[in-house]
Structure formats: C-alpha cells, structure tokens
Structure 1
Amino acid sequence: MDWSSKSGRLKETVCRKALVILDGKGLIDLPSDDVRVLQRGVKSRSLPLVQCADIACDLNELGEIKLELVTSRYSKASRIWKSLMDTHHYLGSGPLCGAQLRYLIHSSIYGYLGAFSFSSAAWSLKERDKFIGWTEAARRDNLQRVVCNSRFLIIPTVRVSNLASHVLGRCSGRIVDDWASRYGVQPVLLETFVDPDRFLGTSYRAANWMYAGRTSGRRAAQRQDGAGPKEILLYPLRHDWREILCVEPRIGLCERPRIAEPTDWVEEEFGTVEFYDPRLSRRFFDIVRNFYTQPQASIPQACGSYAKTKAAYRFFGNERITMDRVLQAHVESTVGRIKSHGVVLAVQDTSSLNYTTHQATEGLGPINTQKDQSVGLLIHDTMAFNTEGTPLGLLDVQCWARNRLDKGKKYRRGQLPIEEKESMKWLKSYRAVHQVQKLCPQTMIVSVGDREADIYELFLEAAQAPLGPKLLVRCERTRNRKTGDDFLWEQMNQQAVAGIQVIHIPRKGCQLSRDAKLEVRHAQVELQSPQGKGYPSVQVWMVHACEVEYPKAVRSPLEWMLLTTVETSTFEQACERLSWYAKRWGIEVYHRTLKSGCKIEDRRLSTAESIEACLAIDMVVAWRIYHLTKLSREVPDSPCTTFFEEAEWKALYAFSRKDPPKEVPTLRQVTRMVASLGGFLGRKGDGEPGTTSLWRGLQRLDDIAATYLVLLPKFRAGP
C-alpha cells in the first residue's frame, strides 16, 4: 500500500489511526503499551511559560509585529505555543488534525501577544460544501487546498484595537508560501469556525472573511465544551478559488480498481462503481439484483418491502447517483469483453421515452410534435455488438429533455453550428467510442449509424482520426451528396453489379421476416463538403444494395446506400459491410427489451434526473437479458453457470423435471427451460427463445429459487 501523500510525505498519522482500528477489530494484536502510544488521549494543561502583562495601546505602539513560525514540536517556541493555548484558549492546545502550522505573535516591545494555527480542513460540511459548489469527487480530490484556521488567540490582557484583524490579514498572505513549503500544496481557501455562544467573529468579518452557514454540531449526548453548532467563515486566497476547487479528478476508463472477489454478476459488472459511500454501493447492488430478478415489476414490487422501496426512491433522488457514474462501471466491463474480439460494431441509435401520463415529474420535455403534446426524455445510446450480433454492452448513453420554449428550431437549423444541434449526439458518441478504441488497439471498432447519422462532420472527424474507430453509415438520399461533378446516387448507378447477396430481414410490425436477394455494387468515392461549409473532401467507400425478386406483399423493397471508412475493394468485403449493417437491427431489439421488458416508461419518479439514474440500471438489466438470449445461441454448449447461480439452475430442474442432473447443464438447456416459464413452447418450428419469454421466465425463476433455498435445508434434514 502507498502510505505517502501527493507531496511524497509519509502519512504517519493515518497509519497510526489504522493500526489502532485494526487492533480494535481483532485483525492484529498490538502490545498494550503501543496502543496507548498510538491513541491520542486528552493532554493535561501545561504550566504557563510566558508572563503576560496588561497592554492597552494603539496598534502602532506595539513596535514591530512578527509572526514566528514554530518549526519543531520539540523547540522552545512549541512549548510557548502550547502554554499560551492551554492557559488562555478554551479549546486548549490540541490535538490539531492532520497537517498543521503553528505561529506565535511577537511584539518587539512587549513580547508575545498571542498565537494561532492552521491545520487540515474539515472532511465534510454541508453548508460549506454547498457554498463552494463542488461535487463529492472534487471535494475528495481538492480538499487538501482548503486549510482551517483551527486556533486563533490574542492574550486576554492585550487590549489593542484592530490587532486581531491586522494579524489575520498578514497571516492570510503568508500561509500560502509556508504551507506550500512544508506540504507541497498551495491552499486557495481558508476556513474557520466561530462559536456564537462565545464570540461574535467581529475580527474575522473585519478581515473580510465570508459567512458560509452553520455546522450541525454533534449530537446532544456527545457534546462537550465547544462542540455545539458553529458559524463557518471562509477567506479566499485567490480570485479563481471556486473554479480550482470544483475541478473533478480526471479518472479515465479502466483506471479504477475492481472488486477482487465478486460474489455475483452484479459485483462483477459494476465492480468499479464509486459513490464515495459504501452504504450507497450496497444499496445499489441490491437494487440491481432486484430489478434483474423482476424486470417487469414496479419499484415497490421489485424491492419487496416498504423500507427497501423508500430506500430505493431515496437512492435515485441522491445527487451523487447519476447516469454517467452508474454506467461508467458497465462501460469498463464492456471494454474487457471487447478486447477478446477482432471486430466490434458500435451501433448508435436514438429512442424516446414517453412520460406524458406522469404529470408530477419535473424536468421533462416535448418528444413529438407540438400538436401531440407528448412529453418525456430522449436517449441516444451506443451498443457494442460482435459480428455475430451478440451485444457486448453499452459504450455511451446520452439522455436529455428538449426545451419546451425552444420552438421553431428546425426552421433555423441551417444557420446553427453543429454544436447547437441535436445532431451533435452522433459526434459525442463517436468520440466516446474513440476513447474505447484507444484501450483496445487490437480490435477494430466500427461505429454504425442509420440515415440520421449521415452528417458530413462525422465523416470528417473519422477521416482525421486514422487510429480511431471506423465508420459505417447508411446514406440519406435527400442529402444529395456530391462526388466530384456527379451526385452520389448517380455515380453508383453507373457501377456494374458486383454480385448477388442474400441477407435475412427480421420481422418488423406486420411485415414478415424474409431472405432478401440483393444486387451489390461498390466503389471508392471522394465526398465533397456541403455548400457553404468549406470543409475538405473525404475519401470513403460506398456500398449499394438493392433488393430484387422480392414478394408482392413487400411494399418497400430493401435499398441501402452505405458509406464507410473501412476499405471495401472486393465483393466479399462489400458483403461483409452489408452483414455488419444488418446487425444494426439488434439495437432496436434492445430498445424493445428496455421498454417492454423493463417497463422503464412505467417508472414513477419525481424528477428527470431520478429517472435517468433508474434508467441506467434498467439499461444494464435489459442488456443482460438480451445478452443471455444471443449468447445461448452463439455458444449453446457452454456451462449454464456463466449466467445462472447454482441454486437457480438446480431449483429450475427440481421444478421442471424433478431430477437435477449430476453434471452442470448447458447454457442452451437452462435458457430454454427459463423461457418455458415465460410461455416459450419449444416446438420444432419455434426456433430459439427470444427476449420476451426470457424476461417473463426470469421473474418466475426468482420465486422458484427463493423457495428452493428455504426448503432445501429441511429436505436434507429429513423427517
């Protein structure tokens, strides 16, 4: 373990405290004498070393006033400082907390006039933290730049007007260099606490310290002298102090430590989640487990009790619980799965969540037309798929509500920069995928988008990042893309047919699934910048597929014009690009699982931020259900323990077949049994189960497994 601070100094105090705690828990055994040395007891008051005469004069009559830094705890100055504090200060000489500097106030004519000290800032103060405006992560990272004026003493017999404010002004100018010299950190903010029952804090206010609120104080049973609520005063040491303190630490993907021995898939998937409170982490894991075992249940039904339901609503309302923080841990797990594949498709898509019936929810916006009056949230997510179509996990999620007052935006979007358009969502997701690509240099990640992603700025960004993700986008015909002197579609019609490719089209609405026969053309083209943009041209490959010999019942035959930055110079490569784009339908299946399987649109929460936090959990639950569906087809003979606990599959066999096998069954066998609980019949022509029957079956499996665990000990005990 690293027991040194950022400045390289050893954390002796922290180490001492840790040893005492470990000894108290019985994890180590310290000799009793060592424990007494390590523990900080209350020190007795020392005898006065300084004789203090009555002084009543003007400030300029004190002569030269020096602020003498105490350089050693064993020096005479240290003994004088302790003597003054123990004699005249109601809190005594200490102990002071953490890092500290002590000073003596000395007059060239009268001698010592007082003393003061600075030490480490308070760990957490509600009113102070609210005044600063920093997040929990920023507070933990930047608290070292806040220093507490923990003691301030003018000897009671010294009655000199403006002396206290004069000393405060001088010490605030000196503390920056002295603190940096000893600890290697430049403070930007001072804090102190004034007991309102004893003092008015006039000297601090005269020195321009700011009032930031009151502390809560200790509980009544724990209060001693000076332990009641105190006023919090702050003094900035530079004009940009708030900007410095509010900067969050830059922790990249896969830089947080994972749980060493996860107990289940929840701890394994979210092993790097950080809420800076172990109670929140435990609550989070419980909520994810409850949502997964009952994906269609409401929050009260999934939680199972009033206390757990109340805790869940409080959890979603906690400002520390954000969608980005929850999903970052899942994204890091997704990165681990991506590294085992040569090619990964990062499919982007946008969907809307309708909360029109939730009139009490704050922060929603319009999602359809003004006449429709529907309100809700929009989500733009990026899901990673392997080339077989198995979802590996989410890579990026954006969620927002449109501004109700921002009307008529579509009529002026031609004058707006890309940064002010919703189209920017495609570039943001591409950049998020770019960060993942840096962590997976052996994997080629291809960002896939439908016709809405046909944005020239997206192609330009992909072309300018040769080591970044590749791009595969379906072209929108109305864009009228130009390639030299011709339009894109005109140039493609001039190309000869490279071959015929058959792809499977899944069922969509009333249209049945079918195998589409496609004529394939491909060519390399140079896209020209849209008129008036002034961008450079971009080299891409185009793949055109047009359905032929289609059934009469097909109203709109398939026609794709794909643009890609992946080299496509042969018919086989063109067919591979078509196969990649066909996997884009997987994200639509995922959205259906999210809405119908997890009932995210039925979640009743008070604010849009709470819905986003809940949505983050539901999105991972929906992914896992979909992942199970596809994985049971891709690797059907793998053991079922990759997804199911031992108690789950044994309970399932005991319920369904009455004869649990001695060997672990395959994933396909158990998946089909779970789906049968959800209505899957398993007939010859039914194929493999889908997500609908699986999420229904998982809800029943949870009850079956719980009953199995209750009855198993009694069964083993016998009559």
Structure 2
Amino acid sequence: MGWASEELGGIDLGDARLNKRAALLAERLAESPADSIPHACQGWAEIQAAYRLFNHECVDFWSIMNPHIQCTMQRMSANPVVLCLQDTTTLDFQGQDIDGLGPLQFESQKGMLLHPTYVVTPGREPLGLIDSWNWAREPKQKNGKRPETINESERWVEGYERICESAAQLPDTRCIYVGDRESDMLALMRRAVALDHPADWLVRARHDRALPDGRKLFASVAEQKPSGTVNFRFRPRRGVKERDVVQHVYVQRVTISDKNGDAVEASCVIAREQNPPEGMKPVEWRLLSNRAVEDLDQAAELINWYRARWEIEMYFDILKNGCKVESLQLKRLASLEVALAIFMIVAWRINRLMRLGRQCPGMEASLVFEADEIRAAYAMNRKKVPKDTVPTINEVVRLVAMAGGFIGRKSDGEPGAKTLWRGLEKIMSFADGLRYARANPETG
C-alpha cells in the first residue's frame, strides 16, 4: 500500500486488522473514486471486509478522520500562514433507505449536511481537513416546527473555536478563518475577541449594518478614496466566462454592533469591478476582517485569501461528483459517516494532486505517486518512462489527466479535477495489473 498507509498511519481502531483494512479500503476507493464500493474492491473478501468496517461498533467518523487531521496539522506547521476554509454542502440521498437521515430543503428530500474545515495555503495547495460538522435535521412536528435539537448557526462559531485549538498547537503558523456570507455573524466576531484572536477571521459581509454615526456600512466604505486597484484572471465557472478583472479597492476601519450594543472593530474592504463586459454582473466583494488594513498590499492580501475560498467549492465538487458519495448505499447514518470519512480523505488527495501539478510542477513525482503508478501513466499514453531525467509531478499529473480525457495541448492550460479523477481510475487499474504480473510471472 502507498499514500493511504502513510496518511492513516496513526489510525487506532483497536485491532491491527481493522487498521490495515481501513488503509487498504482508502487505496481502493482512491483508485476508482467514481465506482461503487463493490466495484472498487477486488473480490468478495474485500467487499465483505469493507462493509464490516463500516458497521463495526468501534469505528466511527472520527476514528477514521483523526489520523488524517494529524497529518494535516503536520503539513500546516510547515507554512507561516494557512487558510482554514469553511462552508456547508448538502448530501442528497433521496430514494435510498438509510436510517437516520433528515429533511433537506423540502421535508420529503432526505439527506444530511456537511460543514468541514478545509485547509489550504495562500498559494492554494490543499493541506487537508481539520474539522467537520455533520448532521441530519429532525423532521418537522405536527405544529409545523422543527425540534430545536441543534442550532445550525453554531457551526460557524464552533468551527472557529476548533481552528483556534489547532492554532494553539502551531506557534509558528498563523491560521486564517475564511467564510462566505453566512458566516457574517457578530457572535463569531465577539467569540474571537473573547479568545484574543488565536486565529484571524475573514468573512464576506452579508449585512449592511448601521455604523455609530448613523451611516450604512457599505455606503460609508465606498465613499472613501480608493486605495488603488487589483487585477486578476477570473476563472470560468458555471454560467460565467473567463475574463480579466480590474477592481477598485476601498478600505475603512469600522465599529459594528448589534441591537444589544455589543461592538466589534473590523476592517471592511470593498473590491468593486470596473468596466465589466456588457451584460456581465460586476465582480464585487465586501469583506470584513479583524486584521488591520493600512495599505493596498494588505487589502490585496485579504482579497487573494478570500478568492482562495473557491477551493472548498472545488473540493465539494470532487466529493459529490467525482467520488459520488450521494450514491452510497448503506443502511445506517453511522455507517454512512464512516464511508464518508474515507471518501473525504480521498477527495482531498485528488484535489491535492491537481494543485501540486500546478503549484509545484518541478516536484519529483515519486513523492506522491508510486513507481508502478508512474509507469502506468506513461504506458497508457504510449510513452516510455524517461531514463535520464526524473519524472516531475506536473508531467505525471498531465499524463493521468490525459488518460481521463484531457487533450494536453499547450493552449489547454493545466488539467482540472474532473479529468484527473477519471484518469486516476484507469491509471490505478493499470498499475494493479503491473503489480499482479510481477507477483505472478508464471501467468504471463
């Protein structure tokens, strides 16, 4: 076994056989992320072992996730700044008979909600997960109200607290909490003040609050003299074409408060696109942070950190569409969460491979790929492994993606997650064939 035995090296399920089984299953699911569990496993014995693991009374979400969290912390410690991204996604298991699921947008829609903390560097290298809030809602009662068994908004505050706990173990790393509009909560900001900001926070403003002088927050900031401009390439997304964006940046230090008069000081940064293409909505972000912003460089840094929040959206896409976790067919929510923990680690690895290929193109491929996987990537593209040079991660990632449909022309840029997860399935299967042929030469 390769990467999974290292990533789950600290796992302790109370039985060495269970520990080995969990790592092997992670390897299998990473080899065929889009396949069902029976198809990903090799043989009836592995299938039975996988389902025994999911249903074992001593195995839960955290017993699988904790060793990965420890590895994530080690990767975080090597960086002066890390971005702790938080967001919520729904997992829809409609039509499946899984005990413990709850309603989603509609009462008849069954599933659960997932709110992880996904850590990346400012350069967007995925480091892993350090926390996750998973829950299923209670169905509404006859009076039309839902039992108040959980306050869902608490996930943002508790998520910040968990980041602070991690930050306490990383004295040389500054952790930045990054959230979208729903995280714009004074309760979160006050908690940060109470804890004396072990981690900084950066959220996209949702509420146009009244300031002490009676003016509204957004208008007040936009009335300031622009600090300057920032520009970047806006990547294509669903319904949005790729384009160059130029934004004017406005900054103001403000005091915001709630109806009870509890006040918090914050820097507000508004980045507003200038001259967008005809018919296109301007790209505008209104950001709040505890960090002082005294010049354009500091404002641009916050903007770049917020732009990195897109990485958690990509992670969700890999988890749901690449790993197809919404197709898992298990009987209990507890079993589902064990499988989900493994797939969450697998989705991180897929995203990490893609990003390392872009951010660290010259890194030796052997640091993240096994020798047979490298051979398979070259063989499937009818190429020979170079003898005089060491294959780089960018070269191998591109070959893997080409096996998944990436054309690889100069004008195509770098491969995305979708072609990578498709290619991984084929490359890993080919690598398994190489291992089998080597172990069984008499069958050749």
> Which range, TM-score by smaller chain?
over 0.9
* Structure of higher RCO (CA pairs closer than 8 Å, 6+ residues apart): 2
Distance in 2, Cα, partners of 1:404 & 1:584: 32
Distance in 1, Cα, partners of 2:308 & 2:323: 22
Counterpart among 112, 115, 138 of residue 380 in structure 1: 115
Mean Cα deviation higher: 689-698 or 486-495: 486-495
Distance in 2, Cα, partners of 1:400 & 1:706: 37
Q: Which residues in structure 2 correspond to 1:395-410 (within 5 Å)?
A: 395-405=130-140
> Which residue does 1:700 correspond to in 2?
426
Deviation at 1:650, TM superposition (A): 2.0
Distance in 2, Cα, partners of 1:374 & 1:339: 41
**Secondary structure in 1 matching 2:83:** strand
1:596 has 2:321 as partner? yes
Distance in 2, Cα, partners of 1:300 & 1:713: 24
1:576 has 2:301 as partner? yes
Q: Which residues in structure 2 correspond to 1:2-41 (within 5 Å)?
A: none
Deviation at 1:276, TM superposition (A): 1.1
- String of CA shifts for 1:455-511, please: whole Å, max 9, x gaps: 10101111222351100000003x535344322123213211111111332222121
**Secondary structure in 2 matching 1:692:** helix
Q: 2:155 corresponds to which letter in structure 1?
A: K
> Which residue does 1:617 correspond to in 2?
342
> Which residue does 2:128 correspond to in 1?
393
> Which residue does 2:37 correspond to in 1?
299
> Which residue does 2:93 correspond to in 1?
355
> Which residue does 2:361 correspond to in 1?
636
Deviation at 1:517, TM superposition (A): 1.4
Q: State the aligned residue count.
A: 442
Q: Which residues in structure 2 correspond to 1:94-493 (within 5 Å)?
A: 264-358=2-96, 360-370=97-107, 373-405=108-140, 420-477=150-207, 480-493=209-222
Structure 1 residues 584, 526: closer, same or farther in 2, change over 3 A? same
Q: 2:402 corresponds to which letter in structure 1?
A: S
Structure 1: give runs of 5+ residues left out of the alignment.
1-262
1:650 has 2:375 as partner? yes
Does the CA contact (< 8 Å) of 2:104 and 2:137 recur in 1?
Answer: yes
Does the CA contact (< 8 Å) of 2:253 and 2:265 recur in 1?
Answer: yes
Distance in 2, Cα, partners of 1:599 & 1:280: 24
Distance in 2, Cα, partners of 1:667 & 1:599: 26
Does the CA contact (< 8 Å) of 2:2 and 2:27 recur in 1?
Answer: no
**Secondary structure in 2 matching 1:482:** coil
Does the CA contact (< 8 Å) of 2:126 and 2:352 recur in 1?
Answer: yes
**Secondary structure in 2 matching 1:595:** helix
Q: 2:29 corresponds to which letter in structure 1?
A: F
**Secondary structure in 2 matching 1:393:** strand
Deviation at 1:568, TM superposition (A): 0.9
Distance in 1, Cα, partners of 2:353 & 2:322: 14
Distance in 2, Cα, partners of 1:544 & 1:308: 54
Distance in 2, Cα, partners of 1:705 & 1:676: 16
Does the CA contact (< 8 Å) of 2:253 and 2:266 recur in 1?
Answer: yes
Distance in 2, Cα, partners of 1:712 & 1:568: 60
TM-score normalised by length of structure 2:
0.95
> Which residue does 2:333 correspond to in 1?
608
Deviation at 1:690, TM superposition (A): 0.8
Q: 2:273 corresponds to which letter in structure 1?
A: E
Distance in 1, Cα, partners of 2:209 & 2:106: 26
Which of structures 1 and 2 has the bigger CA Rg?
Answer: 1
Does the CA contact (< 8 Å) of 1:454 and 1:476 recur in 2?
Answer: yes
Structure 1 residues 500, 621: closer, same or farther in 2, change over 3 A? same
Does the CA contact (< 8 Å) of 2:34 and 2:324 recur in 1?
Answer: yes
Q: 2:353 corresponds to which letter in structure 1?
A: L
Identity %: 34
Deviation at 1:534, TM superposition (A): 5.0
Deviation at 1:292, TM superposition (A): 0.7
- String of CA shifts for 1:531-564, please: whole Å, max 9, x gaps: 1x453x111111011112001131x322211000
Q: 1:646 corresponds to which letter in structure 2?
A: A
Distance in 2, Cα, partners of 1:713 & 1:287: 21
Distance in 1, Cα, partners of 2:225 & 2:8: 51
> Which residue does 1:181 correspond to in 2?
none
Counterpart among 238, 245, 248 of residue 516 in structure 1: 245
**Secondary structure in 2 matching 1:504:** strand
Distance in 2, Cα, partners of 1:599 & 1:691: 14
Structure 2: give runs of 5+ residues left out of the alignment.
none
Q: 2:232 corresponds to which letter in structure 1?
A: I
**Secondary structure in 2 matching 1:486:** coil
Structure 1 residues 669, 357: closer, same or farther in 2, change over 3 A? same
**Secondary structure in 2 matching 1:507:** coil
**Secondary structure in 2 matching 1:527:** strand
TM-score normalised by length of structure 1:
0.59
Distance in 1, Cα, partners of 2:246 & 2:372: 47
**Secondary structure in 1 matching 2:375:** helix
- String of CA shifts for 1:652-699, please: whole Å, max 9, x gaps: 323433532224311111111111100000012210011111111111
- String of CA shifts for 1:507-532, please: whole Å, max 9, x gaps: 2212112222111000111111x11x
Q: 1:295 corresponds to which letter in structure 2?
A: P
- String of CA shifts for 1:579-633, please: whole Å, max 9, x gaps: 1100001110110000011010011000111111111100110000000000111
